[in-house]
Amino acid sequence: MPILIDFHALKDILGPPMYEMEVSQRLSQPGVAIGLAWTPLGGEIMFVEASRMDGEGQLTLTGQLGDVMKESAHLAISWLRSNAKKYQLTNAFGSFDLLDNTDIHLHFPAGAVTKDGPSAGVTIVTCLASLFSGRLVRSDVAMTGEITLRGLVLPVGGIKDKVLAAHRAGLKQVIIPRRNEKDLEGIPGNVRQDLSFVTASCPDEVLNAAFDGGFTVKTRPGLLNSKL
């Protein structure tokens, strides 16, 4: 007789699910973004959460972070503060100085897992931009890349493993540094077909891809052309 393997039979054979994909539930409020991390066991998706409260301009980091990750967090908040006017980001008091009378708490869940490496800069920037704009990051997008203080997105390692992790999680779009575009050639064709890729060279391109409808930038008034 043919044997029918349905959902109930699968559960009896394999046992309860080992992992729960909670991506859409985790991104149901502003201040959350999905990054991609590399581990010795392969790539993983990594949530970054942020909250703000009245305070004295303190930045708190939790989640078993290494020194490089902490530097990425400080770099991200410095870049966003310097560009707050450009993106019309204000704190609860209406100030463009995002740390004016405001404390920020950045949390990387799964605290028992040590996290380090220079690839979370764009994720932290996106997470904080979501927090201060009140807008939700797209729940089907993950990203990786480091930023500089001048606003460049730098290449990172482990692209293949990170993309495979995004694919396993059911995500639809991956943002990577433009200089990592060549690394996409090593990804299986069926995975590339299921995903769309955005290559970014600056945080503007990251934010435009991470939010529905892009991310509004306040442009300077047009200059008059001189005919002299």
User: Catalytic site residues?
Assistant: 119, 162
Rounded Cα–Cα distance for residues 193 and 163 (Å): 12
Identify the burial level of 174 via C-beta atoms within 10 angstroms of its C-beta, where 0-12 means exposed, 13-18 middle and 19 or more buried: buried
Dihedral angle, C-alpha 23, 28, 29, 32, nearest 10 °: 10
